[in-house]
Amino acid sequence: MRPVTRELTARPVTTPGSAAEHGEGPVWDARAGLLRWVDMLRGDVLSLDPASIGTDGLVEPDRRHVSDVTAALRPRATGGWVVATERGFAVTDADDDWTLRPIAAAFEDRTIRMNEGGCDRAGGFLCGSMAYAKTPGDGTLYRLDPDGTVEVVLRDLTISNGFSLDPGGTTAYFIDTPTARIDIFDVGTDGRTLTGRRPFVTIEAGVGWPDGLAVDAAGGVWVALFGGSAVRGYAPDGTLTTVIHVDTPNVTACAFVGDDLGTLCITTSQENLDVRTEPLAGTLFAVRPGATGMLPLPFLG
């Protein structure tokens, strides 16, 4: 492994009392100037003004119950949100109205749920599934087209995670967590077709499992390590450049937020942890890593 050039430490920014059971899916809401993320298995959307991150004390985010499971969300170009629910997709029609309008079912199997997603440059919303029991091969990556149809993109996954694009939109990054890899695809000229899957980075044993990821404006890739108490930053060529230490093991995802898109916010989970010994589990963390993010691609439906 090539030498690490920097080590940083993220600090907690939300109160332990407001911690998420399973925090996931952070996304910057540029229209409202808010960070949004989900407490997935409680079905809640949490919101926070990143200006409050600059204060010394911990803050309590706004929390809205949305659905039984709220897996991932992205802004709609017309206003409102597209949301992956337990087994399908729904939308809201205004940015801060969390009344869901279901638009498509992806599957019926109640042993499986949606997990993580993001949009492509053709305006589709890709979201992957996983079995509650984490059964190998039971996960699928779906694409919700702007017209409301659902198609299968990848089958035989286990824990679908971390979909994002490079700044040019020609490369897609994707994680199936138990493979311990970040994989890349070539994106077709249509902005939606994915081909040529191959490894970008393999995470070595003993440092955690790759979960959610973010790509910065220079093409750097930032990946959360579940069970690893860290986020890692990689250069576009796969060189490890940064390790961000997080003071709780289950680090789930990250996103660049703020008016300058220069703050990396990091979600965490309480899954299989005792909060008496891990009091910061489920807390939101933040760090300024010296990189600038990109606005999230919107859903065009």
pTM here is 0.96
Structure tokens at 189: 């000229």
Each domain of the chain, given as residue ranges in start order, spans 6-287
- Confidence at residue 4, expressed as pLDDT on a 0 to 100 scale: 60
Residue with tokens 């808010």: 34
| Helices and strands (DSSP H and E) totals, the chain | 0, 25
**What architecture does CATH give domain 6-287?**
6 Propeller (2.120)
50 versus 4: the higher-pLDDT residue is: 50
Express each pLDDT in 165-221 by its tens digit.
999 999 999 999 999 999 999 999 999 999 999 999 999 999 999 999 999 999 999
**Cβ burial, residue 224 (10 Å; 0-12/13-18/19+):** buried
* Buried b or exposed e, range 181-212, using 16+ CB within 10 angstroms: bbbbbebeeeebebeeeeebbebeeebbbbbb
Q: What average pLDDT is seen over the chain?
A: 96
